[in-house]
Amino acid sequence: MALMETPLCNFGWKAPDFSLPATDEKTYSLEDIRGTKGTLVMFICNHCPYVVGIKERLVSEMKILQEAGIGVIAINANDATSYPQDSFANMKVFSQENSFTFPYAYDETQETAKAYGAICTPDFFGFNSDLELQYRGRLDSSGKNSAGPETKRELVEAMLEIAKTGRGPENQIPSMGCSLKWL
């Protein structure tokens, strides 16, 4: 499992469309999940220690963003043949066990991950209401470790700023995680 870091935010880059099946038996496009104040597309999986370490915080932070008018989707693009713990069936269990309030979609062909330039899990792409990239950073300052009272909530703060102003913060710290498992 190679440790990867996301590149710097390419401000203004437009979100590519997709059509992906999700664990709730629906198919989602970018327009289906687009929020009135912004949109967050995140690449996660079931087994990465970086995702497992943040899953509770991820769920609570996404509720805050959704309440603020930000659309959210999680996408798993890992090769489920080599990593069966990331299979669609296991995604359904993972999303139910963690009470996801957002769609958890499967990118079996990995076309969406490639279109976004996803690197690792977790990998966050925060867009403004015009679907222009404004955030490509980490969830928070604690990484995969438990969050304490001093933990800076970077993703939530950035997305709420984007919801208000249309612009993300100039300084962003890249997300870190396991490399995507390519076919």
Q: What is the pLDDT of residues 49-91, one digit of tens each?
A: 999 999 999 999 999 999 999 999 999 999 999 999 999 999 9
Mean pLDDT score, 3-18: 92
Q: What pLDDT sits at residue 145?
A: 87
Which two three-digit tokens encode residue 57? 């915080």
Report CA-CA distances (Å) from 34 to 37, 72, 154.
Answer: 9, 8, 21
Q: What is the pLDDT of residues 133-175, one digit of tens each?
A: 999 999 999 888 888 888 999 999 999 999 999 999 999 999 9
With the CA atoms of 30, 76, 72 and 31 taken in that order, what torsion angle do they form, in degrees rounded to the nearest 10?
Answer: 10
Q: What pLDDT sits at residue 1?
A: 54
Q: What pLDDT sits at residue 144?
A: 87
Domain 3-179 architecture: 3-Layer(aba) Sandwich (3.40)
* Strand order across the beta sheet in which 120-121 lies: 3-5, 176-179, 120-121
Mean pLDDT score, 22-35: 98
Q: What pLDDT sits at residue 61?
A: 97
pTM of the shown model: 0.97
pLDDT tier at 5 (50, 70, 90 boundaries)? confident
Question: What is the domain partition of the chain in residue ranges?
Answer: 3-179
